[in-house]
C-alpha cells in the first residue's frame, strides 16, 4: 500500500469512528428526551401558574 493509500485508509477510519460516536450520542439524547414528561403537572396548591 502506498503512502497515499494509507492516508486514505486512516482518514476513512477516522470519519467512520466519528460517525459512529455521533450516532450513539444522538440515540442517547433521543432516549433521554423520550422518558421526560411533555409538560409539568398542575400546581399542587391549585393556584393558577404565573410567569414573571
Q: What is the pLDDT of residues 17-36, one digit of tens each?
A: 988 888 888 888 776 666 66
> Hunting for cell 433521554 — which residue is that?
32
* pTM attached to this predicted model: 0.43
Counting DSSP H helices and E strands in the chain, the numbers are 1, 0
Here the cell at position 40 is 409539568
> Hunting for cell 428526551 — which residue is that?
33
pLDDT band at 2, cuts 50/70/90?
confident
Judge whether residue 52 has pLDDT over 60: no
Here the cell at position 19 is 460517525
Contact between residue 13 and residue 19 where contact means Cβ atoms under 8 Å apart = no
Contact between residue 23 and residue 29 where contact means Cβ atoms under 8 Å apart = no
What percent of the chain lies above the pLDDT cut of 90? 0
The three-point CA angle 26-30-31 to 5° equals 115
Amino acid at each position: 500500500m502506498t503512502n497515499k493509500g494509507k492516508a486514505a485508509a486512516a482518514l476513512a477510519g477516522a470519519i467512520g469512528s466519528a460517525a459512529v460516536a455521533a450516532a450513539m450520542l444522538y440515540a442517547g439524547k433521543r432516549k433521554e428526551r423520550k422518558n421526560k414528561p411533555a409538560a409539568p403537572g398542575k400546581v399542587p396548591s391549585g393556584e393558577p401558574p404565573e410567569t414573571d
